[in-house]
Amino acid sequence: MSIKYTVTKPEKRTQHSSYAAWYTNGVIEPGVYEADHSATTQANRKCQPGENVYWLYLKLPGTVTDDYFQSHFGGMPMGQTYDRTQNAGKEITFTGQPYGYDVAESIAHYASTKWSIDDDWKVECHPDRSINDKFIYPDGTVGKHLHSLVRVSGEAS
| Cα dihedral sign, 87-68-16-113 | negative
Q: How high is the pLDDT of residue 52? A: 77
Assigned domain for 60 exists: yes
On average, the pLDDT of the chain sits at 84
Q: How high is the pLDDT of residue 133? A: 67
As a whole-number percent, the residues of the chain with pLDDT over 70 amount to 86
Q: How high is the pLDDT of residue 157? A: 46
Assigned domain for 83 exists: yes
Assigned domain for 84 exists: yes
Assigned domain for 24 exists: yes
Q: How many domains does the chain have?
A: 1
Cβ-contact 58, 97 below 8 angstroms: yes
pLDDT per residue over 83-121, tens digit each? 999 999 999 999 988 988 899 999 988 889 999 999 989
Most confident of 4-8, 43-47, 101-105, 133-137: 4-8
Under DSSP, the state recorded for 48 is P
Under DSSP, the state recorded for 53 is -
- pTM attached to this predicted model: 0.78
pLDDT per residue over 40-66, tens digit each? 545 555 666 777 788 888 999 999 999
Please report the DSSP string for 58-100 in residue order: EEEEEEEEEEE---EETTEE-SSPP-TTTTTT-EEEEEE--BH
Assigned domain for 58 exists: yes
pLDDT higher at 104 or 38: 104
Q: Which domain holds residue 57?
A: 3-151
HEC secondary structure over 95-155? EECCEHHHHHHHHHHCCCCCEEECCCEEEEEEEEEEEEEEEECCCCCEEEEEEEEEECCCC
Assigned domain for 157 exists: no
- In whole angstroms, give the CA distance from residue 117 to residue 119: 7
Q: Are strands 142-151 and 72-73 parallel, antiparallel or unpaired?
A: unpaired
Cβ-contact 109, 138 below 8 angstroms: yes
> Residue 155: pLDDT band by 50, 70, 90 thresholds?
low
Assigned domain for 17 exists: yes
Assigned domain for 156 exists: no
